[in-house]
Amino acid sequence: MLKIKRVPTVVSNFQKDEADDGARSGGGCGRNCLQKCCIQGAKLPLYAFKRVNEVVGEKGVLALDNEEAPVAFLDSLLLGEWEDRVQRGLFRYDVTACETKVIPGEYGFIAQLNEGRHLKKRPTEFRVDKVLQPFDESKFNFTKVGQEEVLFQFEASDDNEVQFFPNAPVDVENSPSVVAINVSPIEYGHVLLIPRILECLPQRIDRESFLLALHMAAEAGNPYFRLGYNSLGAFATINHLHFQAYYLAVPFPIEKAPTRKITTLNGGVKISDLLNYPVRGLVFEGGNSLEDLSNAISDSSICLQGNNIPYNVLISDSGKRIFLLPQCYAEKQALGEVSPDLLDTQVNPAVWEISGHMVLKRKEDYQEASEGNAWRLLAEVSLSEERFEEVKALIFEAISCADDRSGSTAENLLEEPDENPQSHEVTNDALNKGSHRGMVPGKQECLVQH
């Protein structure tokens, strides 16, 4: 069994000492948490989102009908509630005081000096060889956060209209999804989306949870508000299903990297290779509906989980463009294959770092930040070209099988590249790279079982 000493980031004010505080008898645990001792009768704000009006444009990109929304989601609600928690003193440090700069160079990597994320942490043993691990209620999980750390419940509206209820009862039986602060923020507005929080789901993507994350991105409607996901083994530090999100008003380097189309699925979802970037990955975009796009990434993620391959996901462009990034840095760490100077930085390359937002913990690393240093770190994260081709074959086999199970025809699973690709896309056909192994319609049995 591979083990590595991990120093997890504290995401809740109750994470640091939860192991020492047991629930008290009577009157709850004294922390006004989300567990049974305190949740009965609790009320929290509720944002009920309208399911997006899914329209396919000329390029297969979803158009969202957000006209005359009664609540300005990102600016008025999320950031307003987040700023309220700042005023209450719930954060461990002032993230606005952290130095940030764009590193000179072609890619525009962003460096942030965030020494606050390096302080007051407790070491823990963290397994890196198992992407899927059972939920352990004895470990810290998000039911143990204080109710004051929750900004609002986030659910689909019953009448398909955007609504906000400032004091809504918590429906314990139906396990609400909630948005909570990350008390060790990377950027202003850094929050956690926790699907069906009371079900205590382990950190693994399923179709329902990923669709919820895409709805949050679409509802925000701002290209500078991104959501990210880290699997176990890819620097998720808490085994309780959650996505992270924050607002950063500059493009991520990964968003500017060129792509090369591989295929278009039956549901209109285009899949491309990420090119000229230190981490190999896949880009998903378009689709006849938000659910088509969500299912393609969900099925790919489920495949990676089932094959014990750590990965990260970046939800970009208001949910229209998603990056899927298998990685192996933690495995290399455990095997002693990462150079000591990279280890000394104590940078854990999770979704934000891989996307080009380098969160640095030491002043000397910030002062010496360069495009070359960023590239060198991220190159250690990436799968080799040969291994990446093998992983793509597994993913496409899983997607093909999912199409078969849904009753879709598979004849049009592979298509020619676009004649007029978008500006970020390279016009070469990627099919000759061998990345479509396992995608021959009707000729092979499913190799990956969900």
Q: How far is CA 344 from CA 226, 230, 370, in A?
A: 29, 22, 17
Instruction: Choose the catalytic residue: 215, 240, 242, 357.
Output: 242
Within 8 A by CB and 6+ apart from 367, the residues are none
Pairing of strands 191-194, 357-360: unpaired
Given a contact cutoff of 8 angstroms between Cβ atoms, the answer to whether 95 and 83 are in contact is: no
Six-digit token string for 255: 């968003």
Given a contact cutoff of 8 angstroms between Cβ atoms, the answer to whether 7 and 15 are in contact is: no
Cross-sheet strand order for the sheet of 110-113 = 99-102, 110-113, 357-360
Given a contact cutoff of 8 angstroms between Cβ atoms, the answer to whether 389 and 419 are in contact is: no
The enclosing H or E element of 326 equals strand 321-326
Q: Is 450 a catalytic residue?
A: no
Pairing of strands 110-113, 357-360: parallel
CA neighbours closer than 13 Å in the CB half-sphere of residue 409: 2
> Alpha-carbon distance 280 to 379, whole Å?
9
Burial 64-83 (b: 16+ CB within 10 A, else e): bebeeeeeebbeebbbebbe
Q: What are the residue numbers of the active site?
A: 242
